Chain A
């Protein structure tokens, strides 16, 4: 891998990764990875222009507002940032979006959603974490509910999902619960990813692939 054309490497920003490698490791074809690079460039050059996606750029792309804080967008950003260095590199972007591909097995989507909801990274979803997430979505939706009503929602959810009644939702319980309620995983599939080359036809101009 040491023989990279100097011209090519100068054009590529720090987070860039070979589309052939990414296509081998994911559901995407080389052309689709190149189309994703067009999307990645648009986001990663929107504010800091260094070819890496910073959190403000991610927020800007999601909400049209770089200052909008949102617990769940923070969680997504942190999970996409596989190296935990505060930015999303191109390879991280492609590998993470792969989970959201319509053809990705549902088990992978279930596992990713569990990590999203395991706010403290303890390996289970606790009652306090669930309440924190309910309060965040109510705040985001500008819905006012009494503390009793919030407690009731959390209690009811635990009665359904915490099958052994130990006060925690573990990965196996989450898997059973999510399998029984597939609507919960709707946000884990992005139909756009099926037509990514149609959405970003300009990838052809920058393509290094011959197919």
Chain B
């Protein structure tokens, strides 16, 4: 439960942070 209630864990999953997409053609 503590992990699921961690706001930063939620936020870090944003597509906006997924810079790996920059490398996709």
A→B interface (CB under 8 Å) = 39, 43, 61-63, 70-76, 97, 100, 117, 130, 133-134, 136-138, 140-141, 152-154, 156-157, 160-161, 177-178, 181, 183-187, 190, 192, 199
Are B6 and A71 neighbours in the complex by a CB distance under 8 Å? no
A63: chain B residues at CB < 8 Å are 15, 21
By secondary structure, the B interface counts as: helix
Are B16 and A72 neighbours in the complex by a CB distance under 8 Å? yes
A153: chain B residues at CB < 8 Å are 5-7, 10
Are A181 and B14 neighbours in the complex by a CB distance under 8 Å? no
Query: Whole-angstrom distance between the alpha carbons of A186 and B8 in the complex?
Result: 11
Q: How far is the CB of A38 from chain B (nearest CB, A)?
A: 11
Are A181 and B6 neighbours in the complex by a CB distance under 8 Å? yes
Tier of interface size on chain B: 20 to 34
Known A62-B19, A71-B16; judge A181-B8 contact (CB<8 A): yes
Are B17 and A187 neighbours in the complex by a CB distance under 8 Å? yes
Query: Whole-angstrom distance between the alpha carbons of A138 and B13 in the complex?
Result: 11
Chain B CB count within 10 A is highest, among A43, A76, A161, A187, for A187
Known A73-B16, A76-B17, A157-B5; judge A137-B23 contact (CB<8 A): no
